[in-house]
Chain A
Amino acid sequence: MKNHRSGSIAALALGALMASTAFTGAFAQEETIKVGILHSLSGTMAISETTLKDAMLMLIEEQNKKGGLLGKKLEAVVVDPASDWPLFAEKARELVQVNGVSAVFGCWTSVSRKSVLPVFEELNSLLFYPVQYEGEESQRNVFYTGAAPNQQAVPAVDYLMNEEGVERWVLAGTDYVYPRTTNKILEAYLKSKGVAEEDIMINYTPFGHSDWQTIVSDIKAFGSAGKKTAVVSTINGDANVPFYKELGNAGIKAEDIPVVAFSVGEEELAGLDTGPLVGHLAAWNYFQSVDTPANAEFISAWKAYIGDDKRVTNDPMEAHYIGFNMWVKAVEKAGSTDPDAVIDAIVGVSVPNLTGGYSAMMPNHHITKPVLIGEIQDDGQFETVWETSGLVVGDAWSDYLDGSKDLIADWRKPLSCGNFNTVTGKCGGSGS
């Protein structure tokens, strides 16, 4: 009796373990190329990351319909790091060592990326990171397909300065690494443009902050100094909904004090009545509303895949679309999925993006992207009001920060360095 029971518990545990680590479908008969997907499916970040998991599954399915890669089928290996940063490192190790994946697509928050960096370095595997981030990093095994600050934050500030005539700035963010670094860069940038110290207000709030009354009232007060004021928001995910609700209720209109956000996309607006928010801005490299054939095709494929006509697409999904296609092309070019071969082959690879152009992988492992500024519409979509005339090259090391302006990253041989100091001529100037 006792034996039987412990046996069934073991079976249960095994089952749970298998379910949690991989739903790879049936044990594949033929040889496949495995692709790891490292996105949180539970916990606080599930809200954003689940969509990316689905987008990756769709891309892999489509690639298989086209005949797979190097004559083999692709096989997705999905793991759930559960919004737990140390677990990201464990799961990354598991993907590479246990499942033997050729590349991993994943992570959202900077802290999760930082937590997996050593793993990818040690095991020499590939990570494609699809989210806009604070920069100040370039790693041999990581490809940054989201925006660096010069592909999002700086152009957005330029837009407000030139088009809206903004002279006074509120930099509001959630208290963690991405907003702090971005705001540091923006502050340095604004000062270089002649904005005075007292015309910049910096404000940080805890994760998931929900009582915005004081801050909204402060912004209103700050805005009544006789100069045109704007808010640059790096407020993260969930906290945005109460923030925008409070703005709407307090009667702050976009015409008076516009808010430009770097973390609010179509997905975040889905939980909001956007009527009172019309005219507030967001800066991204992609909007669902962009009118190109490639985008229309992507949107209809996504809606069909997910089986819900109301689901939206967003910028990080496009980043995965670009990153995945780059990887596919690099593997074809190298003729193998060996990480070293792919790292050498991928620099210079150029694939179509969804906004009607081509994005290329640069030697610093960042990509070229157009920058779009959009205004929120009452249907929860963005309308592009401004875009860069050409593509912007992602800059790993900001030109506006003291520690990093002399640094460049170039992973081509013979330099092969993520932080080459052009003044001292040495690799490893500062930072990672």
Chain B
Amino acid sequence: MMLIPPRFRRSPARSRLTQHVPRVAAAWSAVLFLLLAALVAPAGPAFSQAADPATRELVNALGKGSFSDTEKQIGRLAETGNPAVVMALEALSEGDLYVRKSDALVVIGKRAGGAYALTDPLTGENLGTQSGGALDKIRVNNRLRRTIRAALGGLTLRAADATTRRQAAEAIFKARDADAVPALDAAIAAETDTSVARLMREARAAAVLASDSPTEEKIAAIDTLAERGDRDALSLLTAVTNGAQAELHEAASAATARIQKLQAAWDTARNIWFGLSLGSVLLLAAIGLAITFGVMGVINMAHGEMVMLGAYTTFVIQNLFRTLAPEFFDYSLLVALPAAFLVAGLVGVGIERGIIRFLHNRPLETLLATWGVSLVLQQAVRSIFGPTNQEVGNPAFMSGAFEIGQLTITYNRLWILVFALVVFATLLIAMKFTRFGLNVRAVTQNRRMAASMGIRTPWVDALTFGLGSGIAGIAGVALSQIDNVSPNLGQSYIIDSFMVVVFGGVGNLWGTLLGAMTLGIANKFLEPFAGAVLAKILVLVFIILFIQKRPRGLFAQKGRAVES
């Protein structure tokens, strides 16, 4: 069986796109592709006949000359309207197109081990494998990729698959190609999917604005774009405002004003979302500290390193997945969570048993000792894994983004927010409703009383510290998805974590939640005005002032336990 990329199998449907091509060529390519369609199932050597020599020559010419030569060549290929060139263009934009040195044939090459598996860019025929030395890569740059995207948009506007059509419409929208109007008109008339049809109308409006159509038509286009109301529309309309005749100028500036007003509202929504998202990261980083520092009162400077250990555990687990079971890679984080909890938790128990228990009620010594531990852990990781960043992959469900109205929400941030809340809720339940939680609270409130009630306080101390560290470890799993995994990872979170816990109120989990979210949102509302550097300073100043007024934070603990 030959290797036929799936997108190639759809190509017969694309042959319907023959709008602004000379009739003869259209008929020719239609016949050709009916023929091709018949051949797809019983694939065989007959394929090589399918490439018509003129197109072949155009494709082969892609390999010659400079970037601008290639650009012209792409234009010529697009003009053929021949759907067969789609595969070649897609391969070119992905940088998979090569010139075979032996016969100057342009081929698609996919890296397979040390060599390249070659296929014919027009027919998909398998051409065997060849070493990299026998091939010359056809280089592409951003400008070429843009040209290709626009060309592909024109070619795939009437594909069978709605997603392909949507992409085509978006590509034309961005390309603003005045020549695309007739093709779009035909495509709109044939379109059945309403959302795709709307996109096509918007693309048409963009194309009309770029053309020399009459003013009324352009004003209608401006209205269509004003309805779209997002930044891309704004971008187009602003371009119109810069230097157009009076009527158009007026319509366009009215539309821009409307969009800008709308954008302002969305900006607020955006800031709130960014704030919640930053807050969730702060919450994750701080929640372990809320146990070790907040509940136990240990100033643990090595807290950040527990986060770092969690991130490195994720890296190790992902590497195991990559070598042992690459098909289950998406589940690697699920395995990494308990692993990171155990690794960081055990290290935490070790630190408590080895160092901290000898330093009870000596905060300054604890601070210095844990600071030392953090340096040791950092350098240990640096010695084992090297000082460079390690690559932690995003599983598929954490990549990309979706849009609510005009708010782009990235999946990784959304999952981290959900995850932070789940961790918080779990911890809250564990502290409130389990026997272990009861013991922890008893020990922290009155150690001697708890001991005389038969609670093994040293055990509870070790386990509590282990729990706090373990939670920092699973925070590391989440943070490895948005930050870089290097030995310095922990350092960037330690100050923020302390800030959140102190601000929220030492010893109160709800305070940590509220503190994290408040700081996150405050930061994000300040950032657009003050810039990232000043925003951070302002938040710090605010916390200092706040602590002056309320030394015990947002949710101060009350009662005799605190006074003593």
Q: Which residues of A contact B (CB under 8 A)?
A: 41-44, 46-47, 50-51, 163-164, 175, 203-206, 208-211, 213-215, 217-218, 220-221, 223-227, 238, 241-242, 245-246, 249-251, 254-256, 258, 267-268, 270-273, 278-279, 281, 375, 377-378, 383, 385
Verify A211–B174 contact, CB threshold 8 A: no
Distance between Cα atoms of A221 and B232 in the complex (Å) = 9
A385 with B270: in contact, given A256-B174, A271-B391 (CB under 8 Å)? no
Q: In angstroms, how far is the closest chain A Cβ from the Cβ of B168?
A: 15
Verify A44–B488 contact, CB threshold 8 A: yes
Which residue of chain A is the closest to B242 with respect to CB atoms? A226
Distance between Cα atoms of A41 and B379 in the complex (Å) = 9
Verify B237–A249 contact, CB threshold 8 A: no
Q: Which residues of A contact B278 (CB under 8 A)?
A: 211, 213
Say whether B408 faces chain A, with CB atoms less than 8 Å apart: yes
* B:217-266 near A, CB below 8 Å: 231-232, 234-242, 263
Which of B77-85, B142-150, B335-343, B365-373 forms contacts with chain A?
Answer: B142-150
Q: Can you list 5 contacts pairing A with B, beta carbon distance less than 8 Å?
A: A213-B277, A249-B410, A279-B142, A383-B139, A385-B67
Say whether B75 faces chain A, with CB atoms less than 8 Å apart: no
* B:446-488 near A, CB below 8 Å: 482-488
A241 with B382: in contact, given A226-B242, A250-B408 (CB under 8 Å)? no
Say whether B528 faces chain A, with CB atoms less than 8 Å apart: yes
Verify A279–B388 contact, CB threshold 8 A: no
Verify B238–A204 contact, CB threshold 8 A: no
Verify A249–B400 contact, CB threshold 8 A: yes
Which residue of chain B is the closest to A210 with respect to CB atoms? B483
Verify A268–B141 contact, CB threshold 8 A: no
Q: Which residues of A contact B274 (CB under 8 A)?
A: 211, 213-214, 217
Verify B531–A203 contact, CB threshold 8 A: yes
Verify A245–B387 contact, CB threshold 8 A: no
Say whether B130 faces chain A, with CB atoms less than 8 Å apart: no
Distance between Cα atoms of A208 and B386 in the complex (Å) = 19
> Other CB < 8 Å A-B pairs besides A258-B142, A375-B141, 8 of them?
A50-B386, A51-B387, A211-B523, A226-B242, A249-B399, A272-B389, A273-B393, A385-B141
Name the residue among B236, B388, B399, B410 with the largest chain A CB count within 10 angstroms.
B388
Distance between Cα atoms of A378 and B278 in the complex (Å) = 29
Say whether B89 faces chain A, with CB atoms less than 8 Å apart: no
Say whether B123 faces chain A, with CB atoms less than 8 Å apart: no
Verify A224–B401 contact, CB threshold 8 A: no
Q: In angstroms, how far is the closest chain A Cβ from the Cβ of B520?
A: 9
Q: Which of A47, A208, A249, A267 contacts B401 (CB 8 A)?
A: A249
Distance between Cα atoms of A226 and B410 in the complex (Å) = 25
A205 with B143: in contact, given A50-B387, A226-B235, A242-B482 (CB under 8 Å)? no
Verify A226–B237 contact, CB threshold 8 A: yes
Which residue of chain A is the closest to B149 with respect to CB atoms? A255
Q: Which residues of B contact A272 (CB under 8 A)?
A: 389, 391
Closest CB pairs A-B (n = 3):
A271-B389, A226-B239, A241-B484
Which residue of chain B is the closest to A159 with respect to CB atoms? B141
Q: Which residues of B contact A211 (CB under 8 A)?
A: 274, 277-278, 281, 523
Say whether B441 faces chain A, with CB atoms less than 8 Å apart: no
Verify B231–A224 contact, CB threshold 8 A: yes
B365-405: CB near A (< 8 Å → 1, else 0) gives 00000000000001100100011111101100001110000
Q: Which of B141, B234, B401, B523 contacts A251 (CB 8 A)?
A: B401
Q: Which residues of A contact B512 (CB under 8 A)?
A: none
Q: Which of B238, B386, B533 contacts A175 (CB 8 A)?
A: B533
Q: Which residues of A contact B174 (CB under 8 A)?
A: 256
Q: In angstroms, how far is the closest chain A Cβ from the Cβ of B446?
A: 40
Say whether B95 faces chain A, with CB atoms less than 8 Å apart: yes
Distance between Cα atoms of A375 and B379 in the complex (Å) = 34
Say whether B194 faces chain A, with CB atoms less than 8 Å apart: no
Q: Which residues of A contact B386 (CB under 8 A)?
A: 50
Verify A278–B143 contact, CB threshold 8 A: no
Q: Which residues of B contact A385 (CB under 8 A)?
A: 67, 139, 141
Verify A210–B146 contact, CB threshold 8 A: no
Say whether B524 faces chain A, with CB atoms less than 8 Å apart: yes
Q: Which of B67, B387, B400, B532 contacts A47 (CB 8 A)?
A: B387
Distance between Cα atoms of A268 and B532 in the complex (Å) = 23
Q: Which of A204, A227, A278 contacts B95 (CB 8 A)?
A: A278
Distance between Cα atoms of A210 and B277 in the complex (Å) = 12
Q: Which of A43, A215, A245, A271 contacts B532 (CB 8 A)?
A: A215
Verify B391–A164 contact, CB threshold 8 A: no
Say whether B292 faces chain A, with CB atoms less than 8 Å apart: no
Q: Which of B237, B271, B484, B487 contacts A242 (CB 8 A)?
A: B484
Verify A250–B391 contact, CB threshold 8 A: no
Say whether B201 faces chain A, with CB atoms less than 8 Å apart: no
Which residue of chain A is the closest to B378 with respect to CB atoms? A42
Verify A223–B235 contact, CB threshold 8 A: yes
Say whether B527 faces chain A, with CB atoms less than 8 Å apart: yes
Verify B533–A205 contact, CB threshold 8 A: yes
A270 with B388: in contact, given A254-B142, A377-B95 (CB under 8 Å)? yes
Q: In angstroms, how far is the closest chain A Cβ from the Cβ of B258?
A: 15
Say whether B29 faces chain A, with CB atoms less than 8 Å apart: no
Q: Which residues of A contact B533 (CB under 8 A)?
A: 175, 204-206
* B:273-298 near A, CB below 8 Å: 274, 277-278, 281
Distance between Cα atoms of A163 and B140 in the complex (Å) = 13
Q: Which residues of A contact B399 (CB under 8 A)?
A: 249
Distance between Cα atoms of A21 and B240 in the complex (Å) = 66
* B:170-187 near A, CB below 8 Å: 174
Say whether B158 faces chain A, with CB atoms less than 8 Å apart: no
Which residue of chain B is the closest to A308 with respect to CB atoms? B386
Verify B231–A220 contact, CB threshold 8 A: yes
Which residue of chain B is the closest to A225 with respect to CB atoms? B238
Distance between Cα atoms of A41 and B231 in the complex (Å) = 46
* B:194-224 near A, CB below 8 Å: none
Say whether B166 faces chain A, with CB atoms less than 8 Å apart: no
Say whether B492 faces chain A, with CB atoms less than 8 Å apart: yes
Say whether B536 faces chain A, with CB atoms less than 8 Å apart: yes
B495-529: CB near A (< 8 Å → 1, else 0) gives 00000000000000000000000000001100110
Name the residue among A46, A205, A375 with the largest chain B CB count within 10 angstroms.
A46
Verify A279–B141 contact, CB threshold 8 A: yes
Q: Which residues of B contact A267 (CB under 8 A)?
A: 388
Q: Which residues of B contact A203 (CB under 8 A)?
A: 531-532
Q: Which residues of A contact B263 (CB under 8 A)?
A: 221
Verify A271–B485 contact, CB threshold 8 A: yes
Q: Which residues of A contact B394 (CB under 8 A)?
A: 245, 273
Say whether B332 faces chain A, with CB atoms less than 8 Å apart: no
Verify B142–A213 contact, CB threshold 8 A: no
A214 with B400: in contact, given A46-B487, A47-B388, A163-B141 (CB under 8 Å)? no
Q: Which residues of A contact B237 (CB under 8 A)?
A: 226
Verify A221–B388 contact, CB threshold 8 A: no
Distance between Cα atoms of A253 and B331 in the complex (Å) = 28
Verify B236–A270 contact, CB threshold 8 A: no
Q: Which residues of B contact A42 (CB under 8 A)?
A: 378-379, 382
Q: In angstroms, how far is the closest chain B Cβ from the Cβ of A365?
A: 29
Name the residue among A47, A273, A281, A375 with the largest chain B CB count within 10 angstroms.
A47
Distance between Cα atoms of A267 and B240 in the complex (Å) = 43
Distance between Cα atoms of A400 and B362 in the complex (Å) = 58
A271 with B143: in contact, given A211-B278, A227-B239 (CB under 8 Å)? no
